[in-house]
Amino acid sequence: MAETKKTIVRLGGSTLARFIQLVQRTSKRTYEPEDLLERLADVHPCVVACWHGQFMMVAGFRPENVKVAAMVAKHGDAELIGEAMRALDVELIRGAGAGTRRRDRGGASALRASLNALADDYSLVMTADIPPGPARVAGGGIIAIGRMSGRPIVPVAVASKHFASFDTWSRLTFNLPYSRLAFVAGDPIKVPADADADVLESKRLELETSLNAATIRAYELAGGDINRATPLEVLAAASPPAPGPVLNIYRAGTSLLRPAVPMLLNIRGRQGKEDAPRRGERLGFAGRPRPEGDVVWVHAASVGEMNAVMPLIERILSDNPRVQVLLTTGTTTSAEVAARRLPERAIHQYVPLDVPQYVARFLDHWKPTIAIFTESDIWPNLVLGTANRDIPLVLVNARMSPRSISRWRRFARVGRPLFSRFAAILTQNELIERAIKRLGAPHVITAGNLKIDSPPPHVDAAAEAALRASIGQRPVFLAASTHPGEDTIIAAAHSLMRADIEGLLTIIVPRHPERGTNLAASLGGLGLKTQLRSRSADVLPETEIYIADTIGELGTFYAISDVALVGGSLVKHGGQNPIEAIRLDACVLTGPYTYNFKDAYRSLIRDGGAVEVRSSDDIARHVTRLHADRQAAAAMRSSAQRSLDSMKGALDKTLGAIQPFLEKQRV
């Protein structure tokens, strides 16, 4: 099988090489400058840089009697290219920079081989941008080779009038025969051996600018349509694309289904998921008059997202005395919390359902100056309707799970018309930044997680005192924001611990309080004495599992707990927020599924501020240890606080990105 594959790759590579020669032989060639090949010979050996996806005809830059080596990645798709290069008498260097990937792609060995090839009088051909992108952004590796070798870097581009292109990350372009070929080279770029970080960055930008200029010029000379060869996210960032068929069908479908909305709201109302007296807000009808002056619209899906942006709302109001804030959310729980926490000059409304007519009615009334969306709550009609009115859109604390990144990548033609309409996007980490840039967003920066800069959740002093009085000296273990599938693991851990921790009380706070009754019944069926907080606030002496099926009290339960398992992490949900627990001095345990707070957990676990558990045995062992060893628990809390403090700063960065839009609107 392996031999058959090698034979197929070898035949494919030789066929590709013959095709490249056919394109060269049958096409009219133009060089700029006219003596381009002579100039390349004069600076030989050099580093020839091109954009990924535009490399097919770079062999045409080869002066006579010049040895050439090319860097080709090790992955399977590159085998065909490697065989074609061999057939064209090009020496291969296998490996590539890691770029955004963590795994080793042979970059270190490729660097050594590249320096050796240049020293042996080979010119080196390599792409400046690194898979998987972002496209048309020069990496630092090629600059490092130029500095270490002392050889010049020459930016080059080849374009043909006739070509096929594919929607890959780099917009792979396949040149066709019987065409017009244009070869363009920029001025050689020398990188000083003693270049510091600032000089290296300036040289990287110089290469990037020169490569883009050479590419534009090559397509002009060839008479080819450069837009067909430009990565779609680059085009989207320059000019947001019109919604495609999928988005148009979605918009038409949500409009046609409008008559069914009242029935849907009735069903949700009976489930306690809608606020009946304020149902009109879900249809776009305003529940309050619009205040005078500028209105900053901040949208957060639910309580977690609202807590993340509450400090941002407070800063916007304090820094802009004439501004009013409109906060929209989609859940009754968040509305209750907003009623208690919103400062003066801020009002709450339910976000309209994503139906074009409802969105238009909402925007007609509120006429926001700027729209700030939070995390990942992207609704097409809301985004497009807002952008169509020239209202600046900003996405803050942006996050995507690995599954979401993969899904958006598959449906990029849906994502590009949406994300490209945001004037600014502030992401939680660089992986998300790169993913969103690939969707055509024009201005994306990593700001960090706003939740790290958020104050501790609210603690009701009276409720805390009452709980402490009813619990007495009993040790407390808290399982916070749990999801289905986690509670039985926690109950099993309790059964293991109660033999070693006398009088142990386990408190479970389900993520969705409406699960409380069924949860009490199921755990009671396991022989555990359960109690619902909604039925009795005082903890009874015989209670083993206390189920807090109430709203807005999580901070109070963190305040009375020495150790807390933060839920959503023992099942594939991605984990809930550990920062709230740490800010209220609870030692944090987490399951293995933490991608919603990947950066925070990575830092916390590395610094000893959190512990990962995978089973009821793990939970029992660590809870027992932390209850028995107060010194270890105190050290863990201190490590967690230091770790979070090192990650602060997202609030200032986010406000810095938003403030110019507010000031621009006042001009």
- C-alpha distances in Å from residue 500, one per residue of 35, 457, 507: 84, 31, 17
CATH of the domain at 485: 3.40.50.2000
Residue 495 CA to its chain's centroid (Å): 39
Query: Cα 321–660–378 angle (5° rounding)?
Result: 95
Assess whether 298 and 372 both reside in one domain: yes
Q: Are 30 and 181 in contact (CB under 8 A)?
A: yes
Residue pLDDT, tens place only, 144-201? 999 999 999 999 999 999 999 998 889 999 999 999 999 999 999 999 999 999 999 9
Tell me if residue 623 falls in helix, strand or coil: helix
Domain that holds residue 540: 461-646
Q: Are residues 218 and 281 in the same domain?
A: no
Q: Note the pLDDT tens digit of each residue in 378-413.
A: 999 999 999 999 999 999 999 998 889 889 988 999
- pLDDT number for residue 97: 52
With beta carbons less than 8 A apart as the criterion, state whether 493 and 589 touch: no
Q: What is the pLDDT of residue 219?
A: 97
> Are 592 and 470 within one domain?
yes
User: Are 129 and 154 contained in the same domain?
Assistant: yes
DSSP 8-state secondary structure symbol assigned to residue 101: -
What is the three-class DSSP state of 544? coil
Contacts for 162-167 with beta carbons within 8 Å, 24 or more apart?
162/224, 163/224, 163/228, 163/229, 165/228, 165/229, 167/232, 167/412
Tell me the Cα Rg of the chain.
Answer: 30
The tokens 């139906």 sit on which residue? Answer: 355
User: Are 64 and 200 in a shared domain?
Assistant: yes
Distance CA 383, CA 638 (A): 42
Kindly give the pairing relationship between strand 153-160 and strand 47-50: parallel
Same domain, 642 and 658: no
**The two structure tokens encoding residue 494:** 């309790």
Among the listed residues 473, 528, 500, 530, the one whose alpha carbon sits nearest the alpha carbon of residue 620: 500
Residue 284 CA to its chain's centroid (Å): 30
Which of helix, strand or coil describes residue 517? helix
Q: Counting Cβ atoms within 10 Å, is residue 433 exposed (0-12), middle (13-18) or buried (19+)?
A: buried
In the chain, what's the furthest Cα-to-Cα distance? 92
Does one domain contain both 420 and 484? Answer: no
Q: Are residues 290 and 203 in the same domain?
A: no
What DSSP string describes 448-492? --HHHHSPPPP--HHHHHHHHHHHTT--EEEEEEE-TTTHHHHHH
Would you say residue 546 lies in a domain?
A: yes
- Amino acid occupying residue 276: A
Residue 259, domain member (yes or no): no
Q: Is residue 255 part of a domain?
A: no
- Supply the residues annotated as catalytic: 305
- On whether both 183 and 80 belong to a single domain, the answer is yes
Residue 156, classified by CB atoms within 10 Å of its CB into exposed (0-12), middle (13-18) or buried (19+), is buried
Structure confidence by residue, pLDDT tens digits, 348-373: 999 999 999 999 999 999 999 999 99
Last residue of a domain, one of 183, 213, 230: 230
pLDDT the model gives residue 81: 75
What single DSSP character describes residue 568? S
- The reply to whether 252 falls in a domain is no
**Residue at a domain's end among 230, 253, 283:** 230
In a domain, 502, yes or no: yes
Among 174, 205, 230, the domain boundary falls at 230
What are the residue ranges in the chain where pLDDT is below 70? 1-3, 5, 74-78, 95-107, 665-667
The pTM assigned to this predicted structure is: 0.81
Cβ density class 105-128: b for 16+ within 10 Å, e for less: bbbeebbebbbebbeeebbbbbbb
Look at residue 242 and tell me if it is in a domain.
no
Q: If you count them, how many residues does the chain have?
A: 667
- Beta-strand relationship, 163-165 and 173-175: antiparallel
d(CA 329, CA 258): 20
Q: Does residue 237 lie within any of the structural domains?
A: no
Name residue, tokens 């990565």. 231
CATH code at position 176: 3.40.1130
90 residue type, one letter: V
pLDDT of residue 1: 59
In DSSP notation, 314-342 reads HHHHHH-TT-EEEEEES-HHHHHHHHHH-
Note the pLDDT of residue 9: 72
CA–CA distance, 455 with 341 (Å, rounded to integer): 12
Same structural domain, 374 and 492: no
551 and 657 both lie in a single domain: no
- CATH of residue 306: 3.40.50.11720
Residues in Cβ contact with 89 at an 8 Å cutoff, skipping those fewer than 6 apart: 68
Q: Half-sphere exposure (CA, 13 Å, Cβ side) for 416?
A: 23
Question: What's the structural domain count of the chain?
Answer: 3
Classify residue 243: in a domain, yes or no. Answer: no
Q: Return d(Cα 139, Cα 649) in angstroms, integer.
A: 27
**Same domain as 471, residue 337:** no
